[in-house]
Amino acid sequence: MSLPPWAWLLLAVAALVFFVMLEGRRQERKYGRSGRGTLARTGVLELQRHLQRDRKVEILLEKREPTVPARSGDKPDAGTGPH
Protein backbone atom coordinates (compact mmCIF):
# COMPACT_ATOMS: atom_id res chain seq x y z
CA MET A 1 0.00 0.00 0.00
CA SER A 2 1.42 3.33 -1.05
CA LEU A 3 0.67 6.63 0.66
CA PRO A 4 0.25 9.89 -1.27
CA PRO A 5 3.12 12.41 -1.03
CA TRP A 6 1.21 14.77 1.29
CA ALA A 7 0.70 11.91 3.77
CA TRP A 8 4.45 11.22 3.84
CA LEU A 9 5.09 14.90 4.45
CA LEU A 10 2.55 14.93 7.29
CA LEU A 11 4.16 11.85 8.87
CA ALA A 12 7.63 13.42 8.55
CA VAL A 13 6.49 16.63 10.26
CA ALA A 14 4.80 14.64 13.07
CA ALA A 15 7.96 12.57 13.57
CA LEU A 16 10.11 15.71 13.65
CA VAL A 17 7.87 17.30 16.29
CA PHE A 18 7.96 14.09 18.32
CA PHE A 19 11.77 13.90 18.24
CA VAL A 20 12.15 17.58 19.16
CA MET A 21 9.88 17.03 22.18
CA LEU A 22 11.89 13.97 23.22
CA GLU A 23 15.14 15.94 22.94
CA GLY A 24 13.65 18.73 25.08
CA ARG A 25 12.70 16.25 27.78
CA ARG A 26 16.15 14.65 27.65
CA GLN A 27 17.83 18.04 28.09
CA GLU A 28 15.41 18.91 30.89
CA ARG A 29 16.40 15.76 32.77
CA LYS A 30 20.09 16.43 32.15
CA TYR A 31 20.23 20.18 32.84
CA GLY A 32 17.04 20.86 34.79
CA ARG A 33 14.22 23.23 33.96
CA SER A 34 15.10 26.60 32.59
CA GLY A 35 14.70 29.44 35.08
CA ARG A 36 13.91 31.88 32.31
CA GLY A 37 10.44 30.60 31.54
CA THR A 38 8.87 30.38 28.16
CA LEU A 39 9.31 32.82 25.34
CA ALA A 40 5.61 33.72 25.41
CA ARG A 41 5.76 34.53 29.12
CA THR A 42 8.84 36.66 28.55
CA GLY A 43 7.04 38.58 25.83
CA VAL A 44 4.02 39.19 28.05
CA LEU A 45 6.22 40.48 30.87
CA GLU A 46 8.00 42.87 28.50
CA LEU A 47 4.64 44.13 27.23
CA GLN A 48 3.44 44.61 30.81
CA ARG A 49 6.55 46.67 31.65
CA HIS A 50 5.93 48.94 28.67
CA LEU A 51 2.27 49.38 29.58
CA GLN A 52 3.10 50.15 33.21
CA ARG A 53 5.42 52.96 32.11
CA ASP A 54 2.63 54.46 30.02
CA ARG A 55 0.20 54.12 32.90
CA LYS A 56 2.64 55.84 35.29
CA VAL A 57 2.89 58.77 32.89
CA GLU A 58 -0.92 58.95 32.69
CA ILE A 59 -1.21 58.96 36.49
CA LEU A 60 1.41 61.69 36.79
CA LEU A 61 -0.40 63.78 34.19
CA GLU A 62 -3.72 63.30 35.99
CA LYS A 63 -2.15 64.41 39.27
CA ARG A 64 -0.57 67.42 37.62
CA GLU A 65 -3.64 68.70 35.74
CA PRO A 66 -5.52 70.29 38.70
CA THR A 67 -2.42 72.22 39.80
CA VAL A 68 -1.73 73.85 36.44
CA PRO A 69 -1.21 77.55 37.22
CA ALA A 70 -3.74 79.99 35.78
CA ARG A 71 -2.70 82.40 33.06
CA SER A 72 -1.46 85.76 34.30
CA GLY A 73 -4.57 87.67 33.14
CA ASP A 74 -7.13 85.26 34.61
CA LYS A 75 -8.58 85.68 38.08
CA PRO A 76 -8.99 82.47 40.04
CA ASP A 77 -12.55 81.34 40.72
CA ALA A 78 -13.83 81.51 44.27
CA GLY A 79 -14.37 77.73 44.35
CA THR A 80 -10.93 76.78 43.09
CA GLY A 81 -7.64 77.25 44.77
CA PRO A 82 -6.66 77.58 48.45
CA HIS A 83 -8.40 80.07 50.74
Helix extents (H) in 1-83: 5-31, 39-64
Tally of residues, the chain: 83
Report d(CA 58, CA 61) in Å as an integer. Answer: 5
Looking at residue 35, what is its pLDDT? 64
pLDDT in tens, 17-74: 999 999 999 988 888 876 666 666 667 777 777 777 777 777 777 777 665 555 666 5
Q: What pTM did the predictor assign?
A: 0.40
Report d(CA 71, CA 77) in Å as an integer. Answer: 13
